[in-house]
């Protein structure tokens, strides 16, 4: 098994450049063959996230080895992630990273750059060539909820507590979570979850489509292992092509989807049989 710490960003303390302390990044990244595991590793802070966390997630996506087919995102300790580090709401912020107060004073271009960098850490988990699994236990609040939503599948422990806290804090969810939430549960339910900032527990999460599977807390690792085995049993290229078809299905008409299926199948047939006499 190869293990690597999330790479570090260096720089001054300018408006849109910040330094990173590995303890503030709070991530472990491991690759074992075709499986990559990202572990949120600040259990004493319930795996609260900072600007450094999001930047490190983005760089993991940039450097993900081509051989990886499955990415597991998990949290160390009793919680998956309690969301945003509360120090970001203080004037002092997180050392070397600033605060929401300093971010609010950025110019439009610098603010856009910082936001896009944060969102990049979530967007790559949807790539067709991988399947991402969130293994979620305990609290998944705000940014933690959105990180789980960024993954293709969510396997959750029976003590899970999802909550979209941002509106209660005067903010909006901006880490790519609103679109998958609406697609999974529908507009009315998404409005209910977000605008009340209420907690969604395991039974409801499975019933409304937030969770593919609910297991006992001590069975979470085994359930993820079994799911990975199933995913790796299929042809790699066929899996990527099928995921592309599924991702595009909502935005296509039936006729367009039929055409897309045909184009993907033509590529598969050529790849599998064109060398035969």
User: 3-state DSSP call for residue 25?
Assistant: helix
Closest CA to 132 of 4, 29, 238, 227: 227
pLDDT of residue 19: 39
220 and 247 together in one domain: no
Answer whether residue 38 shows pLDDT above 50: yes
Mean pLDDT along residues 206-219: 98
221 and 256, same domain (yes or no) = no
Look at residue 11 and tell me whether its pLDDT is greater than 80.
no
At CB < 8 A and 24+ separation, what contacts does 170-173 make?
173/142, 173/145, 173/146
CA angle 242, 1, 121 (to 5 degrees): 55
SS3 3: strand
Q: Are residues 128 and 199 in the same domain?
A: yes
Q: Are residues 266 and 218 in the same domain?
A: no
204 shares its domain with 242: no
pLDDT in tens, 221-269: 999 999 999 999 999 999 999 999 999 999 999 999 999 999 999 999 9
Percent of the chain with pLDDT over 90: 81
The strand pairing partners of 30, in sequence order, are 3, 37
Give the mean pLDDT of the chain.
91
Indicate whether 257 and 172 sit together in one domain.
no
With a cut of 70, say whether residue 133 has pLDDT above it. yes
The CA-based dihedral angle spanning residues 79, 82, 86, 87, taken in that order and rounded to the nearest 10 degrees:
50
Record the tokens describing residue 55, joined without a space: 């930047």
Supply the pLDDT for residue 100: 86
For 222, the enclosing helix (H) or strand (E) is helix 220-232
Give the start-end residues of each E strand in the chain: 2-5, 27-32, 35-40, 70-75, 131-136, 139-141, 153-157, 161-163, 200-201, 213-215
Query: Is 107 found in the same domain as 26?
Result: yes
Average pLDDT in the 143-156 region? Answer: 98
Residue 98 is predicted with a pLDDT of 84
Collapsing DSSP states into helix, strand and coil, what is residue 91?
coil
* pLDDT at residue 25, as a whole number: 83
| 89-123 per-position pLDDT tens digit | 898 889 888 888 899 999 999 999 989 999 999 99
For residue 151, pLDDT beyond 60: yes
So what's the pLDDT on residue 22? 59
CATH number at 85 reads 3.90.226.10
User: Are 166 and 208 within one domain?
Assistant: yes
Overall number of domains in the chain = 2
pLDDT grade for 21, boundaries at 50, 70 and 90: low
Same domain for 54 and 159, yes or no, is yes
Q: 266 and 217 in one domain?
A: no
**Domain that residue 266 falls in:** 236-273
- Tell me, yes or no, whether 247 and 216 share the same domain: no
17 neighbors 11 (Cβ within 8 angstroms):
yes
148 and 243 co-located in one domain = no
pLDDT band for position 8 (cuts 50, 70, 90): very low
pLDDT for position 7: 44
């Amino acid at each position: 098994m190869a293990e690597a710490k999330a790479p570090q960003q260096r720089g001054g303390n300018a408006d849109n450049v910040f330094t990173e302390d590995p303890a503030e990044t709070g991530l472990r990244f491991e690759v074992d063959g075709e499986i990559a595991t990202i572990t949120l590793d600040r259990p004493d802070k319930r795996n609260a996230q900072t600007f450094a966390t999001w930047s490190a997630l983005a760089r993991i996506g940039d450097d993900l080895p081509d051989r990886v087919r499955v990415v597991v995102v998990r949290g160390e300790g009793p919680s998956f992630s309690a969301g945003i580090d509360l120090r970001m709401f203080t004037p002092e912020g997180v050392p070397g990273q600033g605060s929401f107060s300093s971010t609010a004073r950025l110019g439009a271009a610098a603010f856009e750059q910082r936001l896009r960098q944060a969102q990049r850490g979530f967007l790559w988990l949807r790539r067709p060539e991988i399947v991402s699994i969130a293994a979620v236990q305990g609290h998944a609040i705000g940014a933690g909820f959105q990180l789980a939503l960024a993954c293709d599948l969510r396997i959750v422990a029976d003590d899970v507590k999802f909550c979209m806290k941002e509106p209660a804090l005067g903010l909006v969810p901006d880490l790519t979570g609103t679109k998958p939430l609406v697609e999974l549960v529908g507009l009315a339910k998404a409005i209910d979850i977000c605008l009340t900032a209420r907690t969604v527990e395991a039974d409801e999460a499975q019933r409304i489509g937030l969770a593919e599977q609910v297991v006992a807390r001590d069975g979470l690792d085994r359930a993820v292992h079994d799911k990975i085995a199933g995913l790796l049993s299929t042809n790699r290229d066929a899996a990527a092509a099928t995921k592309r078809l599924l991702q595009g299905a909502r935005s296509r008409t039936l006729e367009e989807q039929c055409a897309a299926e045909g184009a993907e199948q033509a590529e598969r047939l050529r790849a599998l049989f064109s060398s035969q006499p």
